[in-house]
A = this chain, B = another copy of it.
Amino acid sequence: MSELTHLDAKGQAHMVDVSAKSVTARTASASASITMQAATLKMIVEGRHAKGDVLATARIAGIQAAKRTPDLIPLCHPLMLSKVSVEFEPDTALPGIRVLVTCKLAGQTGVEMEALTGASVAALTLYDMCKAVDKTMLIGDIRVLTKQGGKSGDWVFDA
Residues of B within 8 Å of A39, CB to CB, are 1
Main secondary structure of the interface of A (DSSP, over half): mixed
Residues of B within 8 Å of A49, CB to CB, are 7, 10-12, 52
A90 to B60, CA, bound (A): 22
Residues of B within 8 Å of A106, CB to CB, are 19
Residues of B within 8 Å of A48, CB to CB, are 11, 48, 52
Q: What range describes how many residues of A lie at the interface?
A: 35 or more
Residues of B within 8 Å of A68, CB to CB, are 71-72
The one of B67, B82, B127 in contact with A108, judged by C-beta atoms closer than 8 angstroms, is B82
Q: A143 contacts B138, CB within 8 Å?
A: yes
Q: B113 contacts A136, CB within 8 Å?
A: no
